[in-house]
Structure 1
């Protein structure tokens, strides 16, 4: 398996190099040169498999000879063996043919655990094999940071620096990051928003001279291909549990950076019958504005009750644009350079091609709270604000009630108590037992200005071998 850049000017790489490189040197994102494709008969034969076996069947073609089969199976067993539910990603029914897939049963209570607990093991394995050390630099709007830290805290060959927007993540999200102890763990609160943090990370990958040539940067953000790869699995998992592949499925995905829903798009391309993908966003609705009106235009970022989606620059959307433009890297590069200066559109026939599969909705805070309250009153089931946006978008955009609609439950409601209070409910979501003392744990983080040079200087001085 070889991987190419969405900008078309970087050399093709194997899995190990893509894992360690993150962003391509031409500024693009890596995608497989070709995708594995599974027949309906093969997918059907996977019914009843444990999650780890299903994950191996779907992911190993992307890894191929880079990691021996036995070692990769062990990583999967270790990754998903600590999840709090034996089904790993259980399905909960809300109504006739309407479901929530709970992706928050991992150690940090968010869907990011599916990829990041595995990514930490993959990185440490490859770095150990190469006798190298890496500095992870990542940006988070809330959940990526804690999942990445949890996934990397036992790594011997990694130092991790996570940037989050100061005062713009929930207290639970912040404490999940800042209370993890370890000499290789560093939290940086940036006086800015998520897009500021993400831009610093991207620019740092473009020029790594601040590390003095002593280490390489590695990515844990959703630009890292391994994260997309791991997220493809649970689309197959949900489909098989509800009668797939002999019936098609629809999915509603709360998304800000487009990575999770892009994994669903790939699942369809790999042979899974998927009839509809709903892009569910909050007021930061650049993806909805594009998908509903073919206009890609950045607006001012707004702070909402669903902070993990407070993103205006959706990095992984570039991967879809690459496909919509016939994998023409030059066309993608020109489009995104234009988008940095003002609104852009794509050719109408390309946009209509995307609309065959994708629908979208933008949900404001009031409607999010209304949905949390409504679903709880109907089912005594508590949604976090991101999942509530997914449920509302699913109901508003559903094309065919006969097709199962599965909303991805992206986070545990205990991570966002303010939204529960705002919804008017008196029920208090409790943290699971392993986090019961979270508010008593000592925090450790550094607040820095929104200045790339200052952040890079901090990293250069604090990584293990500096």
Structure 2
């Protein structure tokens, strides 16, 4: 969001964990691809910006590059807004979206509320609600922290009318291969022991 508003990419910021983990990043490879296109696909210019990010933790694009970003709109949604968006869409349409799609949907609503345009939008989901079942079900008021994961999966299937994906179904009865629990201070030794077995 800040990058699209200022043209400055700064990884020297607080790392915040959210219900949309693919967005919880300090160095975005997808943004690097966009920056590459904005600098005219100039590998040296792009490499110099990325070197600045590695060296100083930030870089700033020039005015010509910023003009190329004018086709983009940046917005964000906090956790409350993500959960509210999932719930509202479900209550309005019966359709259940994942947390990442909720961020995109919330951003689209902000865009429209700002009067940017009134065209219809197509939002492409890149994740399944089954990947984030606990948060999705919590958002629509159908689960809590104590509910078994597969109870939530089954409830999601009933509510959405979408069959449980085979990959999720496979792990329902899969044998647990690793069940060691340890303190952070013990991790190095536990990993070392498991590698020499």
Determine if the TM-score, normalized by the shorter chain, exceeds 0.5. Answer: yes
**Does residue 429 in structure 1 map to residue 145 in structure 2?**
no
2:8 is aligned to: 295
2:61 is aligned to: 346
1:412 is aligned to: 128
Question: Residue 443 of structure 1: which of 145, 156, 176 is its match?
Answer: 176
**Higher helix proportion:** 2
Query: 3-state DSSP class of the match of 2:124?
Result: strand
Q: What is the distance in 2 between the residues matched to 1:320 and 1:420?
A: 30
2:29 is aligned to: 315
Q: In the TM superposition, what whole-angstrom CA distance separates every residue of 1:180-206 from its partner, at most 9, and x where no partner exists?
A: xxxxxxxxxxxxxxxxxxxxxxxxxxx
* TM-aligned CA deviation for residue 446 of structure 1: 9.2
Q: 1:413 to 1:433 in 2, by over 3 A?
A: closer
* TM-aligned CA deviation for residue 411 of structure 1: 1.9
Q: 1:414 to 1:323 in 2, by over 3 A?
A: closer
2:106 is aligned to: 392
1:267 is aligned to: none
Q: 1:416 to 1:354 in 2, by over 3 A?
A: same
Q: In the TM superposition, what whole-angstrom CA distance separates every residue of 1:350-392 from its partner, at most 9, and x where no partner exists?
A: 112212x111111111100000111111111111111111111
Query: 3-state DSSP class of the match of 2:123?
Result: strand
Q: 1:408 to 1:433 in 2, by over 3 A?
A: closer
Q: 1:335 to 1:445 in 2, by over 3 A?
A: farther
Contact 2:86–2:140 under 8 Å retained in 1: no
Q: In the TM superposition, what whole-angstrom CA distance separates every residue of 1:329-352 from its partner, at most 9, and x where no partner exists?
A: 222222111122133211123112
Q: What is the distance in 2 between the residues matched to 1:308 and 1:350?
A: 25
Q: 1:292 to 1:443 in 2, by over 3 A?
A: farther
Q: What is the distance in 1 between the residues matched to 2:43 and 2:196?
A: 37
What pairs up with 1:355-370 in 2 under 5 angstroms?
A: 355=70, 357-370=71-84
User: CA RMSD, aligned part only?
Assistant: 3.1
Post-superposition, which runs of at least 4 consecutive aligned residues in structure 1 deviate over 4 A?
Answer: none
Structure number with the bigger relative contact order (C-alpha 8 A, sep ≥ 6) is 1
Query: 3-state DSSP class of the match of 1:417?
Result: helix
State the TM-score, normalizing by the size of structure 2. Answer: 0.72
* TM-aligned CA deviation for residue 422 of structure 1: 3.1
Name structure 2 gaps, 5 residues minimum. 144-154, 158-162
Q: What is the distance in 1 between the residues matched to 2:63 and 2:79?
A: 32
* TM-aligned CA deviation for residue 320 of structure 1: 1.9
Q: 1:316 to 1:414 in 2, by over 3 A?
A: closer
Name structure 1 gaps, 5 residues minimum. 1-287
State the TM-score, normalizing by the size of structure 1. Answer: 0.32
**Does residue 331 in structure 1 map to residue 64 in structure 2?**
no
Query: 3-state DSSP class of the match of 1:344?
Result: strand
Q: What is the distance in 2 between the residues matched to 1:424 and 1:409?
A: 18
* TM-aligned CA deviation for residue 437 of structure 1: 5.3
* TM-aligned CA deviation for residue 438 of structure 1: 2.6
Contact 2:90–2:140 under 8 Å retained in 1: no
